[in-house]
Amino acid sequence: MSILATLADGLASGSVEVLDLTAPLSAETPVIQLPPQFAQTAPFELEELSRYDDRGPAWYWNNFRTGEHTGTHFDAPNHWVTGKDGDDVASVPASRLVAPAVVLDFAAQAADNPDFLLEVEHIREWEAVHGPLPEGGWLLYRTGWDARSSSQQEFLNADDTGPHTPGISPACARWLGEEAPVIGIGVETVGTDAGAAHSFDPPFPCHASLMGSGKYGLTQLQNLGQLPPTGALLIAGPLPIVHGSGAPSRVLALVERG
């Protein structure tokens, strides 16, 4: 039997489960807030065109307005100045949008310390148990932050010193971009960088290193806690916005059960 026929059988029998890692997209979806001197991204907004009424008697439809980086979304290499000559989101090869994924769970550490930073040593310890990070695949970084995603305030977790959300250390970000075999990292927070990364050296090291290495980011993922540490297949579907720096994205995971 062909590989795809076997997969289709698994999907039909339930031995392969499809998990949705995508946050619902609405006006309530949390959005990043930059310091006031910078331009701000738009929250998601629906504008009703007609709803079975005079404006369109048999049909319902909307326009929408959103930032490229609103909700569960994909960061393309050209999002950061380090990757400005790299692919826009429409140029990311489709073959890279279906890839293996592993999950590193640091929800307990992030619960104790919202400024928790992933280090290379943490990844090495994980690899000693689960094997190497997947070549051409994703590192999904679980922090439990998806539980906060119904509240902008809890999600951004800001005080007068700025946002406090877990992320990745500058050294680990550099390693992930330049040395790790993965094509990108996925997170549950509003961006791939820590809330405090504005004051890191370099600032926003995860964006700087990943985009500069032609890699990708996936943010505001949900349900990572339902994934096994290894063995999932991730499907990321950003809108192919020509010249876009990223796009809202449906992200699914195929997981083998039983």
Rule CB under 5 A: which residues touch Mn ion?
Answer: 69, 75
Residue nearest to Mn ion (CB): 69
Whichever of 126 and 214 has its CB closer to Mn ion, that residue is 214
Q: Among residues 17, 41, 81, which one has the least CA distance to residue 220?
A: 41
CB 66 within 8 A of CB 248: yes
CB 246 within 8 A of CB 69: yes
Shortest distance, CB of residue 162 to Mn ion, whole angstroms?
18
Shortest distance, CB of residue 63 to Mn ion, whole angstroms?
23
Shortest distance, CB of residue 126 to Mn ion, whole angstroms?
25
Count other Cβ atoms within 10 Å, centred on residue 43: 17
Whichever of 69 and 215 has its CB closer to Mn ion, that residue is 69
CB 251 within 8 A of CB 98: no
Helix (H, G, I), strand (E, B) or coil at 155: helix
Whichever of 68 and 148 has its CB closer to Mn ion, that residue is 68
Shortest distance, CB of residue 190 to Mn ion, whole angstroms?
8
**What does R_g of the chain's alpha carbons equal in angstroms?**
19
> Which residues have a Cβ under 8 Å from the Cβ of 61 and sit 6 or more positions away?
49, 50
Distance CA 218, CA 248 (A): 10
Helix (H, G, I), strand (E, B) or coil at 86: coil
Active site residue 79: yes
Whichever of 75 and 146 has its CB closer to Mn ion, that residue is 75
Catalytic residue among 69, 73, 79, 207: 79
**Active-site annotation, residues:** 79
